[in-house]
Amino acid sequence: MADNPVIKMLGRRLRLGVIGGGPGSFIGEMHRSAARLDDRYELVAAALSSDPERSRSAGAGLGISSDRAYPNAVALLQAEAARSDGVDVVSIMTPNDSHHEYAAAALDLGFDVICDKPITNTLDEAIDLVKRVEQTGLIFCLTHNYTGYSLVRQAKAMVEDGQVGEVRLVQVEYVQGGKAGENDPDPADGLPWRYDPVRGGPSLVMGDIGTHAHNLARFITGLEVAQVAGEVGAIVPGRLVDDFAGALLRFDNGARGTFWVTQAAAGVENALRIRVSGTRGSLEWHQEQPMRLLLNPLDRPAEWRTPNGPGTLPLAARSTRIVAGHPEAFLEAFANIYSDAAEAIAARRSGNIPDPLALYFPNAVDGAIGLRFVQAVISSSQAGGVWTDATT
């Protein structure tokens, strides 16, 4: 990450506008820090809240000039499109129900887009964004940030390199405890967006973390889920939104898998884990110990891979910034997604060819495939757990 390909290609940083992620949002801070880490973006415009006054004042609080601290997203998009020094790329981190509207408007105005997951709340909306991306040729980066970890990329590269043989089994789980408490908001007081199916999407747990787990399995294995037999529901009695989902998986190469996600496991923090087993061995990675990737070969003792340690493959090597043994984690992984998207955007804007290894960030097609999976797991559950096609 020593070179700055954006400066090389454009002679300047990309101008970034952010929509959402204002006061109270954890992920907004992460996006802005990730964008800054490798110095490829300059944050010049923002619409940070649905409340116009809070939006303006939060933007000013970030040091955005007063004419570019906008009262809302539409004002940002229109005013920036009209400026000769307007933003190049718009990053969207608002509640799920507004992703489609803002992303579609941004693409129509010629902005490259970075958008948080889930891409949209419905498959139709996701497919619509895929079409707009195809028609415009613009870059669309979806922040499935766990695919930015150096050792997740190492795992992908090892699978591509044949080091585990043909993949036969995939076990992915994303277990959190944030909703283990049994006091949900009272609908009579107005629901926070995540608890409202119109705003949060058809399944709270699937939108929040199910899409991440599914994307991680696809990213590492390069396989697609062909069929699911699932159950979605609430562990906490009386809860009106989903707090768990489980599914048996059949992949397109015949591999079998399990998928388990919940936000109601008391005391668990952010336990995203994956095990991929092939004909030659198994790989295991756990987000809470992100500096260790375990390889269990079929016929040799177990081995660890570490960021930039022996055996590091090129995709992982370009995803670390410091020498082996120095911890890098969540923020750096998030920054890898931003920095790779920046390289692709700068290349597109300058007519250059990006490094092919910069093109592993998730995109609109990944988002649509994620929503297709969400839909299939819900449909299977509603039909009593029957095997359900996840490809259409």
Ligand X SMILES: NC(=O)c1ccc[n+]([C@@H]2O[C@H](COP(=O)([O-])OP(=O)(O)OC[C@H]3O[C@@H](n4cnc5c(N)ncnc54)[C@H](O)[C@@H]3O)[C@@H](O)[C@H]2O)c1
Q: Interaction with ligand X in 277-336: which residues (CB under 6 A)? A: none
Of 26-34, 281-289, 349-357, 363-371, the segment contacting ligand X by CB under 6 A is: 26-34
| HEC per residue, the chain | CCCCHHHHHHCCCEEEEEEECCCCCHHHHHHHHHHHHCCCEEEEEEECCCCHHHHHHHHHHCCCCHHHECCCHHHHHHHHHHCCCCCCEEEEECCHHHHHHHHHHHHHCCCEEEECCCCCCCHHHHHHHHHHHHHHCCCEEECCHHHHCHHHHHHHHHHHCCCCCCEEEEEEEEEECCCCCCCCCCHHHCCCHHHCHHHHCCCHHHHHHHHHHHHHHHHHHCCCEEEEEEEEECCCCCCCCCCEEEEEEEECCCCEEEEEEECCCCCCCEEEEEEEEECCEEEEEECCCCCCEEEEECCCCCEEECCCCCCCCHHHHCCCCCCCCCCCCHHHHHHHHHHHHHHHHHHHHHCCCCCHHHHHCCCHHHHHHHHHHHHHHHHHHHCCCCCEECCC
Which C-beta is closer to ligand X: that of 147 or that of 308? 147
Which C-beta is closer to ligand X: that of 204 or that of 346? 204
Q: For the CB of residue 201, give the shortest distance to ligand X in the complex, in Å.
A: 9
Q: Does 145 bind ligand X (CB under 6 A)?
A: yes
Q: Does 143 bind ligand X (CB under 6 A)?
A: yes
Give the per-residue contact string, 77-96, with ligand X (x = CB under 6 A; - = no).
----------------xxxx
Q: Does 363 bind ligand X (CB under 6 A)?
A: no
Interface residue with ligand X, options 9, 73, 114, 274 (CB under 6 A): 73
Q: Interaction with ligand X in 96-135: which residues (CB under 6 A)? A: 96, 98, 116-117
Which C-beta is closer to ligand X: that of 41 or that of 251? 41
Which C-beta is closer to ligand X: that of 24 or that of 267? 24
Which C-beta is closer to ligand X: that of 251 or that of 373? 373
Which C-beta is closer to ligand X: that of 176 or that of 308? 176
Interface residue with ligand X, options 2, 11, 24, 190 (CB under 6 A): 24
Q: Interaction with ligand X in 152-211: which residues (CB under 6 A)? A: none
Interface residue with ligand X, options 22, 86, 354, 367 (CB under 6 A): 22
The residues of the shown chain that bind ligand X, judged by CB under 6 A, are 19-28, 47-50, 73, 93-96, 98, 116-117, 143, 145
